[in-house]
Structures are given as structure tokens and as C-alpha cells.
Amino acid sequence: MEPILIKLLLLIPMAYLLGSIPSGYVLVRIFASFDVREKGSKNIGATNVTRVAGPGLGLLTLGCDFFKGAFPVYLALLMEHPSPARTGIFVSLVAFSSFMGHLYPVFTGFKGGGKGVATTAGCFFILAPAACGASFLIFVILLFICKRVSVASMGGAVILPFFVWIKSGETVVSICALVMSVFIVIRHKDNLKRLLSNREPVIWKKK
């Protein structure tokens, strides 16, 4: 097997292990001395961390989760790929591994992972920056209209594969974005139930 292929194949489990680091849980444990999984929505993502531990830790969690997606994908793109046809496959596998690590972290027994929004953003900030920027714009618009992070997150995720396809034309990378967006919507199933019963909390309220 070619040395470059060995490096790329080693990068896939490394990406999963990096994605498995439960940033929100670790940060809240260290700086707030409680288990974020026992408060609020019980999720380790930035939104719940912000609600139960404050915006500072929430932003730090967001940055760490973003980094978990961006860094391994960046490393994958730095490598000299064996052929252009394989580049999209390898990089997409690295991105998806990091994403699945965040959703199903090995360090917590494959349970209690996040919803994957920030990690997906990190992956596609490197893979397809223009598409990621367009998706983020949709996120911001929906957030201001609906005032609910869950709606904005799902909207940005659903539109991402279309932007990736339009901007890059890469079939494999677009499929990767589509699969990740489906997982993100599925991970928001409890939010969807609360939205349907009008119990989903808003991010801010009018005074």
C-alpha cells in the first residue's frame, strides 16, 4: 500500500477520536463544576452550554466543536492525494468520521453526543467555504426570524448540500453534506416535538 494511503487511512480514526472529545462536557466540568448532561436539554452542545453555564463557555464549546471538524479536514487536504478522483472520497470520509465522533463519542460510551452543527460547519468551512458561508447566512436569517437555534440549525443544515453542489460540483462531497444534514435533523427530533407543541425555548425574548 502507498505511504500516502496509509496516512490517509490513519487520519480517519484520528478524526473520529478528535470528534469524540466531548468539548461541552469537559469545559463545564472544569470551569463550572457540574455535569452539563444533567441540566437544560441535557445536550453537550454550545446552545445548552450557553443556557446553563453562560455565553463564555458556550462560545468556547462552539469553537472547540468547530475545530474538531476543521482541523482533520485541513490535514487531509494538505496531504498529497494519490489521484484527484480519490481526493473527495478520502476528505469526505475524514469529515464524516469527525462528525460521527461528535455524535457518538467513544469516550462517553457512544452516548450523549452533540447534534453536529458546529462540527459540520468546521468541516465545510475547509471543504467548501463559500457554501458554508451561504448556509451560515441562512442560519442567521432564520435565527432572527424564528428566534430559535434549533430552527436555524436545521435550516442551515438542510440547505448546505445544495450550496455545496452549486459551489463545488463535487458529487461525493455533496453526498457527504447531505448525509450529515440528515443526521442533524434526526438529532433534532426532540426539538421538533417541542416546536410542534410550541414549547421550544427562544434564544432571546422581547422586553
Query: pLDDT 10s digit of each residue in the chain, 207 long?
Result: 567 677 778 999 999 999 999 999 999 999 999 999 999 888 999 999 999 999 999 999 999 999 999 999 999 988 866 666 577 888 999 999 999 999 999 999 998 899 999 999 999 999 999 999 999 999 999 999 999 999 999 999 999 999 999 988 889 999 999 999 999 999 999 999 999 999 888 876 554
In a domain, 202, yes or no: no
Asked if 82 contacts 1 with a C-beta cutoff of 8 angstroms, the reply is no
Could you tell me the pTM of the whole model?
Answer: 0.92
Place of cell 485541513: 74
In a domain, 201, yes or no: no
DSSP assignment of 88-134 equals HHHHHHHHHHHHHHHHS-GGGTT-S---SHHHHHHHHHHH-HHHHHH
The structural domain count of the chain equals 1
Q: Which residues contact 65 (CB under 8 A, 6 or more apart)?
A: 23, 24, 45, 46, 102, 114, 118, 119, 122
**Which is nearest to 95 in space by CA: 62, 135, 125, 115?**
125
In a domain, 166, yes or no: yes
Asked if 92 contacts 176 with a C-beta cutoff of 8 angstroms, the reply is yes
Domain that residue 137 falls in: 3-196
In a domain, 83, yes or no: yes
